[in-house]
Amino acid sequence: MKKKVLALFLCLTLFSGCGGELAAVSEVVETPATGAAEAPKRWLISLETGFEANRLQMEEKVLQEKDVLKEVLTPEITLVMVGDILMHMPVNNSGKMEDGSINFDHLFTYTKDMISEADIAIVNQEVILGGPELGISGYPRFNTYYEVGDALVAAGFDVVLHATNHSMDKGLEGLENCLNFWEENYPDIAVIGMYGSKEDRDEIYIYEQQGIRVAILNYTYGTNGLPLPSGMPYAVNLIQENLIAQDVARAKDLADFVILCPHWGTEYVLEETNAQRLWAEFFLECGVDLVIGTHPHVIEPVEMLTDEEGNEMLVYYSLGNYVNATASEENNIGIRMLGAMATVTIARNSDGEVYIKEYGAEPLVTYVSADKKTITTYPLKLFTEEMAADSFTRRRDVNFTREHCEEIWRQVFGDMGLE
């Protein structure tokens, strides 16, 4: 895109230069010459006519180039978001390298290009990065390695959501370790939903590009009954009407477009609940433009809501898991392996309105090898039936096939994202 814009600017500059040169030549040719013969005058008129035709042709080309340039320079922002980074113990253990180091880049090997190419890439970091000093743990009270954060950054994520029901799994120390990791190592990464001070909580995150300002907010329905740290009611953003209404109002004053990412819903249900719909209607009433939800650990529908005044709000009710390796004994765990990557283009039209130009979803599948040593996530288009048959998931869920993943996807999203 940047190369095309530069080329068009050069082209316009050249056309402008040609126009200037033509004008100069025309003035020289039209300068009266005392005693000039008749024939040379006709020749000069013919030459002048040729230059005029050429000038008009070039002006038409300039206008055409300006139209193309206007199209190229239409302000827009591309956004992607993935669901839960759910660090069950097999996923934690997959980061242990043979040389003793810890690395989780493999979780994003097949999705990194899609993530890094977007202007804004958002991830729901389901569990805290409390580090090994607090004990690496899986369900029900999670804690993972700091190196997960390194892998998120290397994959290209810009915004990390930390308001989840597992935010307080390791108490105040876990929260502080996690926030300190981000602040000390990646201060440019936006970490929202979990905070170490009221000042940080009150600061609305704004992303700006090409004159479009986008605000991103994050809240959770709760913290599994674990209390927020004493004297720190701001530590984790909770889904509360007054809080959200105030935050959205401030965000609308600061930005052209407001995104709200709620951690909500009912686990393992492929449809939105009545409570989710009621909250979505409230978000629309507040003036939110885009809602992208997480928590149910399975995918749920996407739809465009419209109020009585014609205001629109796009809602992804749940993106499901990005990665997980559930140890559940239930025989339907295959649906937890299917996740979604939301893809949204935000643009400004000729009237100055910022709107959703287009949206979609990319189906993703978590692959857990039979021995649980290899864990990664694939776009569904790269996931094969042989991989499904070889997976640990098939041993728990005989329905886990590539075809079944596609069936579930169609049930929730229709043909969106399927080739």
Write the DSSP string, 77-95. Answer: EEEEEEEEE---HHHHHTT
Rounded-to-integer distance, Cα 168 and Cα 135, Å? 14
Per-residue pLDDT at 95: 98
Q: Are 143 and 170 in contact (CB under 8 A)?
A: yes
Tokens encoding 261: 């990412």
- The per-residue b/e assignment along 134-158, b for 16 or more CB within 10 angstroms, e otherwise, is bebbbbebbbbbbbbbbbbeebbbb
CB 159 within 8 A of CB 121: yes
- C-alpha 70/C-alpha 57 separation (Å) is 20
Phi, psi at 328, each rounded to 5°: -60, 145
Cα–Cα distance, 294 to 145 (Å, whole number): 22
The Cα–Cα gap between 373 and 91 comes to 8
Over its C-alpha atoms, the chain yields an Rg (Å, rounded) of 28
**pLDDT at residue 329 in the model:** 83
pLDDT at residue 196 in the model: 98
Exposed/middle/buried for residue 47 (C-beta within 10 Å: 0-12, 13-18, 19+): middle
At 406, is the secondary structure helix, strand, or coil? Answer: helix
Q: How far apart are CA 145 and CA 135, in angstroms?
A: 9
Q: Residues of the chain whose pLDDT is less than 70?
A: 1-53, 62-73
The answer to whether the pTM exceeds 0.95 is no
pLDDT, tens digit (0-9, with 9 covering 90-100), for 278-315: 999 999 999 999 999 999 999 999 999 999 999 999 99
pLDDT given at position 315: 98
Q: Looking up tokens 């569904």, which residue turns up?
A: 380
Per-residue pLDDT tens over the stretch 61-95: 766 665 555 545 689 999 999 999 999 999 999 99
E strands within 92-211?
120-124, 159-161, 190-192, 205-209
Residue that the structure tokens 């579930």 belong to: 408
- Given this model, what pLDDT does residue 176 score? 98
